[in-house]
């Protein structure tokens, strides 16, 4: 992964931050994208303190023009994107689709690329009361599999990581009794960590994963098999 250019959406905290740190430690030059540049700069400072490269681009995944501007700025700085991590959670499907559009031609031209979409355990198992969220996350799996077939002839792999319940800002606000019910459904008897997810992402983005495409890698402690 040495000197590959990795673009991570939602990189200011949680899973996105962990992915940025993991890819950077593996040798990638990372582009950090999110709506809050100040928080991105904090992550970038951590990476630079370790002697590695980090580039910050403000981006709102709910706005197509903002996505295009962020990738245009990245292209001006680096010339290409080798690895795209579609992590940002709020605009699950549309944002990932538009972001992917920005990198495909370059990856096809280079005949190398890695796209990793962060979906969710609920995309496969369903979850009552979350029909809209589940549908968007399930749509990411469909996008992953379709793009994997379309891009395979150019050595561009497209995979997904499906986290279970991860210890992030989103889950820290859960009521204690709900958290107990969740833990009871997890065979490994703990919440996952952002680093657990980032390790899976790092592998799928690596040279070693070059013969894996169209795959959904579950990182859920065994709660859905």
Q: What are the structural domains, with CATH classification, of the chain?
A: 5-166+193-218 (3.40.50.720)
Span 150-184, pLDDT tens digits: 999 999 999 999 999 999 877 787 888 988 999 99
Residue 158 host element (H or E): strand 156-163
- pLDDT at site 91: 80
Residues of the chain with pLDDT under 50: none
Residue carrying the six token digits 């609920």: 122
- pLDDT at site 102: 98
- Residue 28 · residue 1 · CB < 8 Å: yes
- The verdict on whether 133 is a catalytic residue reads yes
- Residue 163 · residue 170 · CB < 8 Å: no
- pLDDT at site 165: 94
- pLDDT at site 170: 74
Residues 133, 182, 215, 216: which is the catalytic one? 133
pTM: 0.97
């Amino acid at each position: 992964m040495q000197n590959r250019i990795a673009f991570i959406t939602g990189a200011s905290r949680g899973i996105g931050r962990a992915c940025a740190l993991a890819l950077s430690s593996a040798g990638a030059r990372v582009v950090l994208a999110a709506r809050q540049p100040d928080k991105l700069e904090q992550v970038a400072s951590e990476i630079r303190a370790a002697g590695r490269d980090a580039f910050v681009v403000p981006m709102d995944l709910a706005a197509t023009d903002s996505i295009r501007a962020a990738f245009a700025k990245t292209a001006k700085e680096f010339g290409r994107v080798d690895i795209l991590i579609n992590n940002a959670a709020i605009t699950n499907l549309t944002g990932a689709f538009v972001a992917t559009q920005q990198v495909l031609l370059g990856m096809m031209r280079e005949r190398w690329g890695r796209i990793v979409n962060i979906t969710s355990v609920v995309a496969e198992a369903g979850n009552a009361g979350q029909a809209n969220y589940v549908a968007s996350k399930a749509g990411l799996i469909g996008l992953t599999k379709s793009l994997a077939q379309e891009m395979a002839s150019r050595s561009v792999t497209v995979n997904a990581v499906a986290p279970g319940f991860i210890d992030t800002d989103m889950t820290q606000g859960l009521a204690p009794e709900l958290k107990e019910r969740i833990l009871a459904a997890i065979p490994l008897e703990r919440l996952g960590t952002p680093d657990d997810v980032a390790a899976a992402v790092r592998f799928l983005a690596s040279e070693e994963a070059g013969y894996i495409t169209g795959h959904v890698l579950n990182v859920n402690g065994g709660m859905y098999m």
